[in-house]
Amino acid sequence: MLRFRENHGTSLAVTMAAAAALYIVWKITQSPEQALQFTFNGLAVGAVYALIAVGFTLVYSTVWFFDLYYGAAAALGAYGVFYLRSFDTLGGRYEVNEPVVNLVFAAVTAGVAAWAFHEAFHTRMRRRGSGRTTVRVADGLIAAIAGIYMWLVLTFPAQMHYLLSPVVGVIVAGAVCWLLYRGYRAAFADANALPAILGGVIVGCVAGAYCAYLIFGSPGAGLYLSWGVSCLLAGVVGLALYRGLYVYMRERARSPLVMLVATLGILLALTAFTTIVFQSAPRPLPEAFGSQPWKIAGANLKAFNVFSIVVAIVSFLALLFVLKRTSFGKAVRAIGDDEEVSKVVGINTTVVIAIVFFVGAIYAAMGGILSGHDTAIQPRMGLLLLLKGWIASVVGGIGNLYGAILGGFVLGLIEQFGIWDLAGEWKDAISFVLLILFLSFWPRGILPRR
């Protein structure tokens, strides 16, 4: 009887999919230009959904509970850009710049930096004979530097290109050194590593200094630097919530429902906090590059939308590489399969999961930023993006990264083609109807998790 129901549900799902495909083909024959426009729009919106779904799936498939802070992270990314770039040219000041907000985020950044440094270097320092006092002083020093630096960036956003140019230079230098060293070792495995190290350091320092110089003299880079700062803030808050709250709740509650309710409270609290600081009125983000449309075969396409699609695909491929080819990725997959066994074999699950929450929040924030540059932002945007990311995960196959990115683009296309003969306000209704249909007839999604 159960097998009959499953076969019946599958047949019905295939029939409905075929009917939808025939409808789209029919509409394409009616107006190819309109169909091309809806395809472009669907892929652009689907890129945001895919980015949200990929990060959401990463977190869910590791800890197996729905972290609703993820929606607040998306709103934090968008509002972070507005906070850092809302300069009032007439008044000569920033529209929103609250000292209390700056201090709170600086304190959270300091705490996370101290924890990260402690976890990374505590054991090594103790092995080298450093006492507890030395370790604590080092932790405090790192916390103070990170907190003060973040406070300066948030308090003086107009000077962001000055403040962050050294950081960008160091990051570029480190990345170039690492890539050159890895490439040299891969090509000459048995050769002396000293030439690779020296060459990497020289080339990396030159490249880093040049990038820092370019940013130092480019005030217009502030908008794109604010993307990085906003994503970092969202990730830092996500990591702090896990390390400071979720760890203890998971040990005591041991129930996904309790975690769901707790993260719902966090989402609502942060949404209310956002409303207090920014008011409830929709706000536009500053115009990014590629805002002028191109005319292609009768349809309008913006370069920024293409950029959004590329970001979603590259982010997915980067995450896939990390999970498949690195020891950290193996640890993440092991925790997702069985966290208790992972602890037994020596994996520091607290650190690994904290990094997962950090990365997942960055993905959410980037999705919120891309969405905010396409439409106006408002405090409840995080909840809607969270729901769209969850729907995309269900459509693609919840818990499956391949399904997450596929589901995001599928959802975007279905939304756009669904409002062909309807008003745009029906778009959200179409998404939830699609969710109900998949939960009813195809609950494992297009690409079920194995």
pLDDT by residue for the chain (450 residues), tens digit each? 445 445 555 666 667 667 767 777 776 777 777 878 888 888 999 999 999 999 989 998 888 888 889 899 999 999 999 998 876 444 455 667 788 999 999 999 999 998 888 887 766 665 566 667 777 888 889 899 999 999 999 998 888 889 999 999 999 888 888 888 777 766 666 666 677 677 778 888 888 899 999 998 888 888 899 999 999 999 999 999 998 888 888 877 777 788 888 888 899 999 999 998 888 888 888 888 877 778 877 778 888 889 999 999 999 999 999 998 888 889 999 998 888 888 888 888 888 999 999 999 999 999 999 999 888 899 889 889 999 999 999 988 888 899 999 999 999 988 888 877 777 678 888 888 888 888 888 888 888 876
- Indicate the burial class of 338 (C-beta count within 10 angstroms; 0-12, 13-18, 19 or more): exposed
Helix/strand/coil percentages in the chain, nearest 5: 80, 5, 15
| Pair type for strands 299-302 and 87-88 | unpaired
Q: Kindly give, in sequence order, each residue whose CB lies less than 8 Å from that of residue 156, ignoring residues fewer than 6 positions away.
A: 163
pLDDT per residue over 261-302, tens digit each?
888 889 999 999 999 888 888 888 888 887 777 887 777 888
The residue length of the chain stands at: 450
Residue 220, amino acid: G
d(CA 178, CA 314): 20
Instruction: Identify whether the C-beta of residue 88 lies closer than 8 Å to the C-beta of residue 242.
Output: no
Cα three-residue angle 264-271-144, rounded to 5 degrees: 95
pLDDT per residue over 386-424, tens digit each?
999 999 999 888 888 999 999 999 999 888 888 777 776
d(CA 148, CA 159): 15
Please report the sign of the dihedral spanned by the C-alpha atoms of residue 68, residue 74, residue 77, residue 81.
Answer: negative
